[in-house]
Amino acid sequence: MKISIKTDKETLLKILKEGDINKKLKVFSKLEDLSESDRIKILLKILEDNSWYLREQATRELAKFGSRVVPRLKKLCSKGFWYTRAAVSRTLGEIGDLEGLNSIITLLMNDTNPTVIKEAKEAIKKIARTNGDDFFVKLKELKSGTEFKGNIYTILIDALPDSKERLKEIFEPI
């Protein structure tokens, strides 16, 4: 059976609400027919889907848009199911933009889901690797402007064991 799908944002969003994975996969083949803005909206919606495979595909596609999608990803960090927050963390890590760092740290401090925490740690590693010294400058800025609570220092050392001394300079008082 051939599935024919009209290519417009509303139709594709409606299909994503349905449970048929084959139709949802067909949405990916239609994304190129949409404007960039509509594509981003659809991909962000897919990050909320319960299919791991679809979320992985959306992460790859969204990462191509780079820092332009970071503000919208940051909004998704605080809502939805655990798998949405995990997918957003992964996407922010793939993008590597420092603007997503505060949202990821907030997840590390507040989220209790082990998968979200794991993905947030991986995102921290990728952002640190991508940005080098700028990562630590931004982390220091965030620390001075935000109340880091709990064991964020321990979590960051766990995520970045090779950077223990740099983290110590930021988090331990002299």
Residues of the chain with pLDDT under 70: 1-9, 11-19, 147, 149-150, 173-174
The residue type of 24 is K
Q: Does residue 149 sit within a domain?
A: yes
The encoded tokens of residue 124 equal 């921290």
Query: Is the residue at 156 inside a domain?
Result: yes
Please tell me the predicted confidence (pLDDT) of residue 30.
Answer: 77
| 67: its two tokens | 């820092």
Identify each DSSP E strand in the chain by its residue range: none
- 3 falls within a domain: no
Q: What is the CATH number of the domain that holds 132?
A: 1.25.10.10
Q: Which residues contact 155 (CB under 8 A, 6 or more apart)?
A: 108, 109, 117, 121
pLDDT tens string 67-90: 999 999 999 988 889 999 999 999
Predicted local confidence at residue 4, as pLDDT:
42
- Asked whether 118 and 111 are in contact (CB, 8 A), the reply is no
**Residue 1's pLDDT is what?**
36
8 Å CB contact between 167 and 153: yes
Does 120 reside within a domain? Answer: yes
- Whether 136 is in a domain gets the answer yes
Q: Is residue 2 part of a domain?
A: no
Question: In angstroms, rounded to a whole number, what is the distance separating the alpha carbons of residues 144 and 122?
Answer: 24
Domain that holds residue 87: 9-171
Report the number of distinct structural domains present in the chain. 1
The reply to whether 80 falls in a domain is yes
Question: Does residue 4 sit within a domain?
Answer: no
Q: Write down the pTM of the prediction.
A: 0.85
